[in-house]
C-alpha cells in the first residue's frame, strides 16, 4: 500500500485509496473522515521516503509509529509493521501510508515464514503486565506472554540486531525472575549479545517528561564478535514545558470549569510552566520542571490527567493531544487525525515511545553494526 500511494499521481484515485483504507479499519465518524481526506492526502504526498536506506527493520507492536520514526531518521526502511489496535492503525496509516494487512496485525498468529528478511527488529511490547500502574501479573497475563511471540520471530529470521522497550518495572517484576527469563531466552536460547539500560526521556531526549523505560538491545553473536555498543549519554535538558504548549486558541473541552472539582484545581494549580496531575481526589504538583509520565488512561478524566494553568488565558486545562505528541518528541509535522475521539488519541500517545530517545539509540546501534 505504501509504494502504491507514493507512486500515484492522480489525486482523485489517491483520495479513494485513503478513504477505502480507513473504511476497511471500520473507523466511525465518517463525516469527520471526509473532512480530513485532503489533509491526509497532502501529508502523505509530502512525506519523505528514505530511498537510499542503510538498513531494513520491522516494526512490531507498532502503535502509532514512534519507534519507526526514530529508526527512519537514521535512514532505516520499514519492511513490515504489526499492530492489532485498529484506531492506532488508522493513525499509523495517516502518517506512513502503510495499511497493515490483516494477517500481520495479530502477532500471536504471525508465522515466521510471513515475516520478510530484515536487519533490525523493533518491539515496544505491551507493558501493562509489568507496570506498577497495573496488577503486575507478568507472564500470568496474556499480554506478558507476547514476549515469546517476539522470540519466535527472532529465532525464525535471525535479525542482526533488535531493540525492545518496556516499563522499568520489568526489571524487578516478580523479584527479578521475569527479567531473568527474558535475558536467558535472548542470550542463551537465541544467542544474542544483550545490553539493557533504563533511560529517562528528560535526561536522554531533551524533552521535559519524566519517563523511565527499559531499553534492551541485542546483537547476533554469529555475526558480531564482542561488538562495542553504548547507550546514549545523558544530555542537557534545554526545552521547557512552555516550549511544548500550543499557542493557538484551545478547544473548550480541554478546560475544567464545567467539572465539580474546578474550585480545587483553581486553588491548587497556580504556577505557569508546571504540569500538575489530578490524582482522583487531590492535585499533585510535579516539581521536576517536567511533565509527569504520560499514561494510556490520561484521557479518561479520572486519574493521572496532566493539567496546566494555560499561560495565555490563565485557565486550568488538560494537555491537548498535540501537546502530548510534543511531550513524546513527535515532530510538528506528525498528523493527528481529528476523526478519532480524544480519549483514543491520549491512549495512543500515552502508549507510545519518546521518539528522540529511540533515535539516539538507533544511531548507536547503527554505529555498532557498521564497524
Catalytic residue numbers, as ranges:
127
Rounded to whole angstroms, how far apart are CA atoms 153 and 102? 18
Q: At what angle do helices 30-46 and 86-96 cross, to 10 degrees?
A: 40
Contacts with 346 (C-beta within 8 Å, 6 or more apart), sequence order: 296, 298, 299, 321, 324
Q: What is d(CA 152, CA 158) in angstroms, rounded to the nearest whole number?
A: 10
Q: What is the DSSP secondary-structure string of 112-156?
A: GGGSPP-SEEEE----TTT-TTS---GGGSTTGGGHHHHHHHHHH
Taking alpha carbons only, the member of 90, 124, 84 closest to residue 103 is 84
Cell numbers standing for residue 314: 490563565
**φ/ψ of residue 181, rounded to 5:** -65, -45
| DSSP characters over 90-114 | HHHHHHH-----GGGT-GGG--GGG
Q: What is the DSSP letter of 231?
A: P
End-to-end CA distance of the chain: 35
Amino acid at each position: 500500500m505504501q509504494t502504491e500511494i507514493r507512486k500515484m499521481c492522480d489525486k482523485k484515485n489517491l483520495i479513494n485509496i485513503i478513504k477505502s483504507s480507513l473504511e476497511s479499519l471500520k473507523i466511525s465518524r465518517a463525516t469527520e473522515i471526509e473532512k480530513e481526506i485532503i489533509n491526509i492526502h497532502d501529508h502523505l504526498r509530502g512525506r519523505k521516503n528514505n530511498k537510499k536506506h542503510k538498513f531494513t527493520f520491522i516494526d512490531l507492536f507498532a502503535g502509532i509509529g514512534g519507534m519507526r520514526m526514530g529508526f527512519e531518521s537514521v535512514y532505516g526502511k520499514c519492511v513490515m509493521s504489526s499492530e492489532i489496535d485498529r484506531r492506532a492503525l488508522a493513525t499509523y496509516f495517516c502518517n506512513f501510508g502503510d495499511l497493515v494487512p490483516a494477517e500481520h496485525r495479530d502477532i500471536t498468529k504471525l508465522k515466521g515464514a510471513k515475516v520478510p528478511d530484515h536487519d533490525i527488529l523493533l518491539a515496544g511490547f505491551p507493558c501493562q503486565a509489568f507496570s506498577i500502574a497495573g496488577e503486575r501479573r507478568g507472564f500470568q497475563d496474556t499480554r506478558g506472554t507476547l514476549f515469546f511471540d517476539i522470540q519466535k520471530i527472532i529465532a525464525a529470521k535471525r535479525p542482526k540486531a533488535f531493540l525492545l522497550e518496556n516499563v522499568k518495572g520489568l526489571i524487578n517484576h516478580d523479584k527479578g525472575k521475569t527479567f531473568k527469563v527474558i535475558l536467558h531466552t535472548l542470550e542463551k536460547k537465541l544467542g544474542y549479545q544483550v545490553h539493557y539500560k533504563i533511560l529517562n526521556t528528560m535526561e536522554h531526549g531533551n524533552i521535559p517528561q519524566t519517563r523511565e523505560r527499559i531499553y534492551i538491545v541485542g546483537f547476533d553473536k554469529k555475526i558480531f564478535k564482542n561488538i562495542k555498543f553504548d547507550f546514549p549519554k545523558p544530555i542537557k535538558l534545554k526545552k521547557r514545558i512552555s516550549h511544548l504548549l500550543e499557542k493557538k486558541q484551545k478547544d473548550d473541552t480541554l478546560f475544567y470549569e464545567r467539572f465539580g472539582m474546578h474550585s480545587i484545581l483553581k486553588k491548587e494549580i497556580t504556577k505557569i510552566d508546571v504540569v500538575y496531575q489530578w490524582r482522583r481526589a487531590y492535585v499533585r504538583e510535579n516539581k521536576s520542571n517536567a511533565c509527569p509520565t504520560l499514561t494510556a488512561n490520561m484521557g479518561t478524566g479520572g486519574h493521572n490527567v496532566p493539567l496546566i494553568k494555560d499561560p495565555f488565558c490563565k485557565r486550568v486545562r488538560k494537555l491537548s493531544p498535540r501537546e502530548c505528541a510534543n511531550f513524546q518528541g513527535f515532530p510538528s509535522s506528525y498528523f493527528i487525525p481529528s476523526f478519532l475521539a480524544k480519549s483514543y488519541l491520549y491512549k495512543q500517545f500515552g502508549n507510545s515511545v519518546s521518539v528522540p530517545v529511540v533515535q539516539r539509540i538507533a544511531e548507536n546501534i547503527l554505529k555498532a553494526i557498521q564497524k
